[in-house]
Amino acid sequence: MSPKYSGTCLCEDEGGIRFTISAEPIDPVCTCYCTHCSKGAGGIGQVMVAFPQDSIKIESGEDRITTFTFEATDSGKPKDKMFCKVCGVTLWTAPDHWKKLRQLLVRTPVIDGRLDWKPTVELTSNWRAKWTSLIAGAAQQ
Ligand SMILES: [Zn+2]
Ligand SMILES: [Zn+2]
């Protein structure tokens, strides 16, 4: 399949992570504001969408992709977080449920030009920073 999307980490040298995705997203774009996601993002939360693991091809920088396995999740099941060990950008995570489905939750900001993909589901919205507003039209979970 030909690539539909491409993305990068923040590294500017030739060894930086570049990837392509040859499938469409599986589920709606969602946000999560839980403590793990906001700390992981260094922001108010994560914006992510699932893709089939096999549709993601690492074009360069594979040696920089590092996995951190977080054990103390709310579900009690381990969650893998893949990030660039040089620039620190989180690429995607594989919580247990998605790992079994062979899917990765890709962070939309690392996909070129996809920052505008609007989340239609807000997870853990009661943990959202008090100074932010609900996303108009998005379902709250
Ligand atoms: Zn990097
Ligand atoms: Zn979360």
Q: How many domains is the chain built from?
A: 1
Measure 9 CA to ligand 1 centroid, in angstroms: 4
Which residue range(s) make up the domain with 124? 24-50+66-140
Q: Would 122 be classed as within a structural domain?
A: yes
Ligand (nearest to CA of 36): 2
pLDDT computed for residue 1 by the predictor: 66
Q: Would 17 be classed as within a structural domain?
A: no
Q: Would 58 be classed as within a structural domain?
A: no
Measure 38 CA to ligand 2 centroid, in angstroms: 7
Q: Would 61 be classed as within a structural domain?
A: no
Q: Would 1 be classed as within a structural domain?
A: no
pLDDT computed for residue 73 by the predictor: 81
Q: Would 16 be classed as within a structural domain?
A: no
Average pLDDT along the chain, 141 residues, taken 10 residues at a time: 92 97 95 91 94 97 97 86 97 93 96 92 92 94 87
Q: Would 56 be classed as within a structural domain?
A: no
Ligand (nearest to CA of 8): 1
Q: Would 95 be classed as within a structural domain?
A: yes
For residue 94, list its beta bridge partners: 80
